[in-house]
Structure 1
Amino acid sequence: MNLVPLLVLAFCLYRTDGDQNRTDRYFNRSSPVLLDLDLDLSAVFRRVDPRFLSVTIDASLAAEERFMLLLRSQKIQVLTKALSPAFLRFGGTRQDFMVFTPQKSQLDAGLADESYDSSLLPWWVEKQLKEDWTQQQLILRGEELQRKYHRVQFSELTVDLLHSLTNCSGLDLIFGLNALLRTADNSWNSSNARTLLQYCESKQYHMSWELGNEPNSFEKKAGVRVDGYQLGLDFTHLRKIMSESKLYRDAGLYGPDVGQPRDHKTDLLEGFLESGAEAVDALTWHHYYVNGRDTSLEDFLDPEVLDTLALKTNEVLETVKRVSPGKSVWLGETSSAYGGGALGLSDTFVAGFMWLDKLGLGARLGLDVLMRQVLVGFGSYHLIDKDLNPLPDYWLSVLYKRLVGPEVLKVQATQASFGRSKRVRLYLHCANKKSYRSGAVVLMSMNLSKKPARISVPALISNSTVDAFVLQSDRQGEEGLYSRSVKLNGEVLKMVDDKTLPSLSGVHQPPAEHLQLPGYSLAFFVFADAKAPACN
């Protein structure tokens, strides 16, 4: 661990010794919110998939196929590999306008080579693609606003590049098929999908599948109405096709990627489960907190907005439990704001509060996988920007991967005389056993207020050393919430070079009676010596 002098750390962990002056010095003489921590280390509350934090690449990247070549960027490969284990879902609105057209693209097919190190994208090609992508995003944005989508033809190159990226980085590819190809009787026309599966099988591409994206909006975006029961029959048809393949008979099939419940209605979801539940390995739905076109900074920090995830999730879980009990439920696509994200918010430091809270709350509520929209590509909610540099939520995601295990534990924080705290939100997991020995636990923490918080450590873990990983904006105050840079323990995070991430070290501290959480901060506190029975 890199030890940084304590005096420069705004979040210092220390033994309480009555030195109020020292506390004031760290927290700009603002009286901290005092919280008591109550936790249960005796048993695992629930367990999520090891690939719980997963990512997407939006199908819009293939709207002009040459942009798929960006996936051969060495920087993207390195950044993607750091998120393993995870699923990588290729889908979104434009997947239902994509048609596989085998033709071996005139683009250099050698750039889809399976080797991690060979056939990297030449720097001048990458530079031109990044410059052109800015203009392409304007075109895609126009289509989104007008809801006028044109049919997109993609060749073997798109599939080759996606498989190469996931194969080299250790992610599991999920490919979204077009569900708007319909027959005269409005059932799914599977002929194009058969051609694609045959090609992928010929290449021995191990991958999973989806069918359709947000079928509840088919009529609005394409003038086609498909009810849930018919959609379930379509998935059953796809499962039959997969069962005829030696390679894909046991492959994953996920869906229906329905939008979140509106006005407490889950009709399409119920119809799908009645006819298609047996066909899918997990049920998928989408969640966004706000409309990216009319949201505000205040929404991103509002505990009531964050709590809407619980409302929507419980509606879905109750429907699944009633119609198809035991079926795994995933967020197949999710981020802060729908409509491509909120410009100037969804790709900045403040978006981390929604993201970390969704990871913590989603795991506790009963979701098994969350797929973050989007790793790279269209919109303002990406993890990697147009210059292929990692944004704050990327660094948050990598820290989560390294520190947080799949075992969810119970924890609650109460504020003296005020009951449960609303602006300090805490979640507890066993620590990742690849990074820490058995018995270690990690407290995920966030402070939505500018006022610092002081968390009392219960006797159960007060004798444990603590590794602190505290994320703050590189700028002070509210202005810093709009920043696209983030500091870990006082150091701005950035890649060392195109193939090297920084060390992402925590600050090792002796046992303490309190944790200090600065205003507007996100943190992981790892209690390495907790000896939690649930984590052994």
Structure 2
Amino acid sequence: MASKAVIVFLFLVSCFFSVSFADEVKVTIKSVTTIAKTDPNFICATLDWWPSDKCDYNQCPWGKAGLLNLDLGNKILFNAVKAFGPMRIRIGGSLQDQLTYNVGPAAGECPQFKKKDDGLFKFTNGCLEMKRWDQIMDFLNKTGAKLTFGLNALMGKTKNQDDKSSNPVYDGDWESLNARDFMVYNLKKEYDIDSYELGNELCGEGVSARIEAEQYGKDFLMFRKIVDELYPNASTRPIILGPAGFYEEKWFNKFLEVTGPDVVDGVTHHIYNLGSGDDADLINKIQDPFFLSQIAQTYKDVANSVKLFAPWSGAWVGEAGGAYNSGGKDVSHTFADGFWYLDQLGMTSTLDHKVYCRQALIGGNYALLNTTTFIPNPDYYGALLWHRLMGSKVLSTSHDGSAYLRAYSHCTKSGEDITILLINLSNSTTFEVSVLNDMNLNLFAEKKDYVPQQQREEYHLTPEGGDIQSDVLLLNGTPLKLTNDSDIPKMGPQLADPTTPIRVSPDSFVYATLKGFQAPACAK
């Protein structure tokens, strides 16, 4: 009996220590000025052209999620996009530079993408019927989405026969007629296009094909001229984005130097910093704060190129899926992906990026929605909460604790309070977070002009059953599931005593809105 009593005592003691003790961390927010400002529609998701036989690593994860096959009448898809009110959508991707538009004097036969071993991305050229385009635009208009459309930049170009590399140079001027006819069609139909982008991953070393910086710059000058001509009213004119590829400093700087002032409105670049989708170490990379931080230098370098060569514009992440070739089948659609994704949102907004486009809304393993059922994956809800809670004004945020705790803060959408995002990458440590204002060093100290009477609003995101590779996300302990009408569930906060620290459990994300924080930057 004595031995059993000792065992029970030790068990209770261990429980007490595991529950009662946590790392105490002080997060300091500099609230007097902002350090960056994002677009109001910072969250963006992509839609791609891939056919159902797009396959990687002996799997074909796109199904009918490509735009030529996607069920636009699906109620879950409709509600998922509409819930953002609005959601920014980028249409484009690898096959956009093989897509023609069946419109104008050249309209005729309209072949679909087919497998071809020696074709770009192992597919033939494809074609977009205007009937299908009308269906796509009807969907986007009804959901209130803001559209970026990626145009074919290889029209009229020929492969340099002397270039035997896997990513050969394509020479010649851009043939703009088909793109112009497509834009004219959109004007006649009074379609609202927020922005046009020219080409996909043709810059620098390229992916399967590339264009030299000087030539691409000349193509963009022609592009700008056409858009300005078709849209003489600057207030309704779509903005121009590019070059939509992987950042290489010398190439980007030359491209922006050639295009010159007020040609490119948004400098887009792509990120797949987790490596290939079949990497067995993917699940470890995604939880490694030191690995996740390595990409920060690229964001700083892009922002610097924009500052030096295109200060009238802004840096955008035009496409980011984490792991390339459709993502990791056991990781990219699960709770674990949020360690990477939410950290990316925080990091890029801090490093002066205006928009972040997630590959993809649907399709592949890395989509925000399940490719076959359309049910939202965990990252969808993380993105929706960001969109609703994190405003455009970014605040400097730092702490004195473990690298496994990430912290980012913005003024709220209303602009009066602040919302902080806390990401706990550790699978064993709980963090007790106190938030300090750099103006008074203690948020909860008695001050004449601030009395913490309003409760803190907290959104704790955790995986079902504690399994970070689960597709089911818990909000404050309750699974997020669609309603019986296929609507996105309500996502209300739990209220907390504002004088207590924010408790961030292992393997969890917390959004917390701090009422009455008195941030001068948010009051302006």
TM class, shorter-length: 0.7 to 0.9
Alpha-carbon distance in 1 for matches of 2:232, 2:132: 20
Q: 1:491 to 1:105 in 2, by over 3 A?
A: farther
* Alpha carbons of structure 1 residues 497 and 165: separation in structure 2 relative to 1, 3 Å: same
Contact 1:96-1:212 at 8 Å conserved across structures? yes
- Using the TM superposition, give the Cα deviation of residue 414 of structure 1 relative to its aligned residue in structure 2, in angstroms: 0.5
Contact conserved, 1:333 with 1:370, CA < 8 A, in 2? yes
TM-score normalised according to structure 1 size: 0.80
Give the whole-Å Cα distance in 2 for the aligned partners of 1:281 and 1:219. Answer: 22
- Counterpart selection for 1:152 from 118, 126, 147: 126
Q: Is the 8 A contact 1:376 1:382 kept in 2?
A: yes
Distance 2:117 2:471 in 1: 27
**Following the alignment from structure 2 to structure 1, what is the Cα–Cα distance between the partners of residues 375 and 482?**
8
Matching residue's letter, 2:284 = E
Q: 1:476-533 CA deviation, whole Å, 9 max, x = no partner?
A: 2xxx111111100000001103442211010012222311100000110111232322
State how far apart, in whole Å, the 2-side matches of 1:220 and 1:466 are.
47
Aligned with residue 400 of structure 1, among 386, 395, 401: 386
1:230 match: secondary structure: helix
Aligned residue number for residue 229 of structure 2:
244
Cα 1:24/1:455, change in 2 over 3 Å: farther
Alpha-carbon contact 1:104-1:157 (below 8 Å) kept: no
Secondary structure at 1:405 match in 2 = strand
Question: C-alpha offsets along residues 10-33 of structure 1, whole Å, 9 cap, x if unaligned?
Answer: xxxxxxxxxxx9998698448422
Give matches, 1:41-120, under 5 Å.
41-60=31-50, 67-102=68-103
Select the residue among 457, 471, 476 that pairs with 1:489: 476
Task: Give 3-state SS (helix, strand or coil) of 1:233's partner.
Answer: helix
Give the corresponding residue for 2:162: none
Aligned to 1:270: 253
Q: Larger relative CO (CA 8 A, sep 6+): 1 or 2?
A: 1
Matched residue, 2:243: 256
Contact 2:214 2:258 in 1 (8 A): yes
Once the two structures are superposed, the pairs formed by residues 247-396 of structure 1 within 5 Å of their partners are 250-261=237-248, 266-277=249-260, 278-291=262-275, 292-294=277-279, 295-377=281-363, 379-386=364-371, 387-396=373-382
Aligned residues of 1:42 and 1:533 also touching (Cα < 8 A): yes
Change (3 A) 1:484 1:241: same
Normalising by structure 2, we get a TM-score of: 0.82
Question: Could you list the per-position Cα deviations for residues 209-259 of structure 1 after superposition, in whole angstroms to 9, with x for gaps in the alignment?
Answer: 11100113786525xx41011111111111111122147862211011021
Map 1:458-497 → 2, pairs under 5 A: 458=436, 460-462=442-444, 463=452, 465-476=455-466, 480-497=467-484
Q: Which runs of 5+ in 1 are unaligned?
A: 1-20, 107-135, 416-420
Deviations 1:277-303 (A, max 9, x none): 432111110112222222421100011
Quick check: 1:426–1:445 contact (8 Å CA) kept in 2?
yes
> What is the Cα deviation at residue 396 of structure 1?
0.6
Residue 402 of structure 2 is aligned to residue 424 of structure 1? no
Assess, with a 3 A threshold, how the Cα gap between structure 1 residues 145 and 363 changes in structure 2: closer, same or farther. farther
Conserved 8 A contact 1:425-1:445:
yes
Higher helix share: 1
Number of matched pairs: 466
Deviations 1:295-339 (A, max 9, x none): 421100011221122111112222232333343111111122122
1:234 paired residue number:
219
Is 1:535 the counterpart of 2:522? The answer is yes
Q: Decide whether aligned partners of structure 1 residues 169 and 460 sit closer, same or farther in structure 2, where only a CA change above 3 A counts.
A: farther
Q: Which residue of 1 aligns with 2:26?
A: 36
2:148 corresponds, among 171, 174, 182, to 174
Query: Hey, what's the Cα distance between the residues in 2 that align with 1:275 and 1:37?
Result: 44
Decide which of 433, 439, 451 is 2:416's aligned counterpart: 439
Q: Percent identity?
A: 29
What is the CA–CA distance in structure 1 between the aligned matches of 2:503 and 2:317, rounded to whole Å?
A: 32
Q: Who is 1:186 aligned against?
A: 172
Measured after TM superposition, the shift of residue 449 of structure 1 is: 0.2
